[in-house]
Amino acid sequence: MSRNQILAMSVVCCAFGALALAGPADSRTAAYGLNIVLAIACFFMAGRDLKARGWALGYLFAGAYILPLIGLIVYFALSDRPKVETASLVRG
């Protein structure tokens, strides 16, 4: 996934979190469930992306998705780094 797609998914996750807290009473459980599923997906996608950008502790930083809105802020701040190209080892 691209950085923009992960950020968009993070915003949607936050929106469902807000609905779970202050939305209509009959849809709070469903919104909370979707929030949890999206937070887990954001954790894995952001962790993989941060590792590709050279952050050795990418999954640790992506763990901020456990906290409401903090994961979005942490990922936005750290994902500005360009992706690191993996160099193949050539023996000769």
User: Rounded mean pLDDT of the chain?
Assistant: 90
- pTM of the full structure: 0.83
State in Å, rounded, how far the first CA of the chain is from the last one. 35
Q: How high is the pLDDT of residue 53?
A: 92
The answer to whether 62 and 71 are in contact (CB under 8 A) is yes
26-80: pLDDT as tens digits: 999 999 999 999 999 999 999 999 999 999 999 999 999 888 789 889 999 999 8
